[in-house]
Structure 1
Amino acid sequence: MKTITVQSLTEKFHLEVLAGASRMDRVITRPRAHRPGLEFVGYFDFFPMERVQVLGRKEVNYLLTLTLEERKLHIGNIVKYHPPCFIVTSGQQEIPYLTLFCDQEGIPLLRTKETTTEFIAKLDSYLVKALAPEISIHGVCVNVSGIGILLRGKSGIGKSETAHTLIRRGHRLVADDIVVLKKLGPTTLLGTHNETTREFLSLRSIGLINVVRQYGRRAFQDETRIVLDIELASWRENSLNNELELEPQFTEYLGIKIPHIEVQLQPGRDVAGLIEAAANNWYLKQHGYSAAEEFMQRIDNKMQ
């Protein structure tokens, strides 16, 4: 199970530490934050205590309407569950008993100047990606006209060279050599780099190049949703048929099935052009269009 520390969260969002500074090593294991509303009125049946607890103006204003004894009781009831941390938004100053209880229990109490809605949106997005299950594979990841593609194949087959051609045609590199795949949901697979290889592309006979330095910022992006898995393979005689529509094939990563295409290499074949065609064809299919179906419809119309 992936985890991040409260300390790393604090550094990421430049949070102010109000209490519990000695326990910044506490770990966060669950994505998405929680606003303890029902819990403040005593309902704990479905309290997600493993999540970061965010207190906005509504929660704090409610506490201020209570008597001192009621505040102490309601805050104490939540703190005893030992969530990873509490974060107060909108730079709120009046946070009765929170500082005292968090110091006593060793739970970090943090504060941000951002509004609750804006902060939770950023926090949830960060936590989902940071805690997502992930694997690293050998390959190249590119974004072709907004469509994320994973290029695979044996070492030396031409993955990086193909990516270079795509970059020169206006598409973007995401990762070369090592591609990090993250599962963000049941059907969402994110491709990114491992930081070390960020912006770098390795070309045989040339060496390492920085695509941003050579081709500008448009040549690179940090991450992309993977929707196509394309394998570059050596040419095999009589193995390709000119079929109207190929039988769908899939490759599975982290339990997510991604459409798979094999592109065989031969001198003179425009591999980058074929990848562009595959990307555009996938896009059209998502919008309900099939060239094969239209072709067959034309034949039926002529026969009739």
Structure 2
Amino acid sequence: MAKVRTKDLIKRFDLELLAGENGIHREVIKSDLSRPGMELAGYFKHYAADRIQLLGKTELSFFYELSDDMKRDRVERLCTDVTPGIVVSRGMDVPEELLNAGNDAGVPIMRSPLKTTSIISRMTNFLETKFAPFTAIHGVLVDIYGVGVLITGQSGVGKSETALELVKRGHRLVADDSVEIRQEDFDTLIGNSPPLIEHLLEIRGLGIIDVMTLFGAGAVRNYKRITLVINLELWDKDKQYDRLGLDEDTMKIMDVELPQATIPVRPGRNLAVIIEVAAMNFRLKRMGINAAKEFSNRLTQMIETDQERFDE
């Protein structure tokens, strides 16, 4: 999990630093933001001090109605030694008491021209992405007709060569060899390439090639949601492979179950075309069109009809 500091938020969201410059290196450890309305009223029993505090129009309007002693007390209790920062929205004027408390406690006081709800949604999404569970898998990730296909298999089975053929057919490479995966939601996996090998493919006998330089910017993308896994394995004549597509295998990555298809590799099989068709068939299934089930239903109906004729 990546570390996020207050200075990263200042840079990412172009926040104006007004006070507490000494605390910009404080670490943000929670993705949730807090609007300390109850705290401004004096109730600090459950104060989430380790979160970014957000003061909007409502909070400041209430604050200005307090007495001077209450104002100083509230801001001093807001600015703790674990508070990563306080953000004032809508570009509003910041109370002098808050600026002084921020400087004294080393808590960054920042201002944004955005509305309160906009800051909450944008900053929360950013922090949740940074704090999302993370893993890495050996494989290739390709965007095929909008479907994020993770190609797995043992080393040397032909994953990178297949990815190269898919790129030549107009699809987009996301990552080769190592795919970094983060779980952004309970059912969402986002894959990307490590920065060191971004946009690069390794082809045995040829070496490292830069896909973006060779095929253009349209042949790559930085990240993609993973929705389908294709596992390549060497053909085993003693193994029974699924010929109808009724059996639906899955692969679990972190907490997410992904549909998986196993494709046997042997000379003469065009893997790129097969994977391309698998992606298109996956899209059809999500639209409610399942050729395997339709065939099974037709076969069942035919058997029942023949059985009725036999009984007569």
> 1:1-304 to 2 correspondence within 5 Å?
2-44=2-44, 47-80=47-80, 82-241=82-241, 243-302=243-302, 303-304=304-305
Residue 45 of structure 1: CA displacement? 5.6
Give a deviation string over 1:134-162, Cα, whole Å, max 9, x none.
11222111111111121112222211111
User: What SS does the corresponding residue of 2:257 show, helix, strand or coil?
Assistant: strand
Residue correspondences, number: 304
Q: Secondary structure at the residue paired with 2:196?
A: coil
Residues 250/24 of structure 1: CA separation in 2 closer, same or farther (3 Å cut): same
- Aligned residues of 1:2 and 1:133 also touching (Cα < 8 A): no
Q: Which residue of 1 aligns with 2:308?
A: none
Render the CA deviation track for 1:155-206: whole Å, top value 9, x for unaligned: 2221111111112222211111221111112222111122222222222233
Separation in 2 of the partners of 1:88 and 1:179? 39
CA, structure 1 residues 146+95, in 2 after alignment: closer, same or farther (shift >3 Å)? Answer: farther
Letter of the aligned partner of 2:111 in structure 1? R
Question: CA separation of 1:263/1:242 partners in 2, compared to 1, >3 Å: closer, same or farther?
Answer: closer
Aligned in 2, Cα 1:195/1:89: closer, same or farther, shift over 3 Å? farther
Q: Structure 1 CA distance, aligned partners of 2:287 and 2:51?
A: 38
Q: Report deviation, 1:301.
A: 4.4
Letter matched to residue 57 of structure 1: K
Give the whole-Å Cα distance in 1 for the aligned partners of 2:295 and 2:246. 14
Worse overlay, 145-154 or 68-77: 68-77
Query: Partner residue of 2:310?
Result: none
Residue identity opposite 2:126 in structure 1: Y
Can you give the 5+ residue segments of structure 1 that lack an aligned partner in the other structure?
none
Is the Cα–Cα contact under 8 Å of residues 6 and 27 in structure 1 kept in the other structure? Answer: yes
Task: State whether residues 18 and 111 of structure 1, in contact with CA within 8 Å, keep that contact through their aligned partners in structure 2.
Answer: yes
C-alpha spacing 1:32/1:279, structure 2 compared with 1 (3 Å): farther
Alignment partner of 1:196: what SS? helix
How far off its partner does 1:125 sit? 1.8
Instruction: State the Cα distance separating 1:267 from its structure 2 match.
Output: 2.0
Following the alignment from structure 2 to structure 1, what is the Cα–Cα distance between the partners of residues 256 and 116?
33
| d(CA) in 2 for partners of 1:263, 1:255 | 24
1:238: Cα distance to partner?
A: 4.5
Q: CA RMSD in A?
A: 2.3
- Code of the aligned partner of 1:78: L
Aligned 8 A contact 1:71 1:96 in 2:
no
Secondary structure in 2 aligned to 1:7?
Answer: helix
**2:149 is matched by which residue type in structure 1?**
I
* Higher mean C-alpha deviation, range 52-61 or range 222-231: 52-61
Bigger mean CA offset, 108-117 vs 128-137: 108-117
Report the structure number with the largest CA radius of gyration: 2
* In structure 2, distance between residues paired with 1:217 and 1:51: 39
**Deviation (angstroms), 1:127:** 0.9
Counterpart Cα distance in 2 of 1:242 and 1:154 = 20
* Contact 1:2 1:29 survives alignment (8 Å): no
- Counterpart residue type for residue 210 of structure 1: D
| 3-state DSSP of counterpart to 2:74 | helix
1:184 alignment partner, SS class = strand
What per-residue deviation string (whole Å, max 9, x for no partner) do you get for residues 246-276 of structure 1?
4222222223222222211122212112212
Q: Quick check: 1:82–1:105 contact (8 Å CA) kept in 2?
A: no
> Could you tell me which amino acid in structure 2 is paired with residue 169 of structure 1?
R
What secondary structure is seen at the aligned counterpart in 2 of 1:148? strand
Question: In 2, Cα distance between the equivalents of 1:31 and 1:79?
Answer: 19
d(CA) in 2 for partners of 1:181, 1:15: 30
Cα shift at 1:240: 4.2
Distance 1:298 1:286 in 2: 21
Taking structure 1 as the reference length, what is the TM-score of the superposition? 0.89
TM-score in terms of structure 2 length: 0.87
Q: Which amino acid aligns with 1:250?
A: T
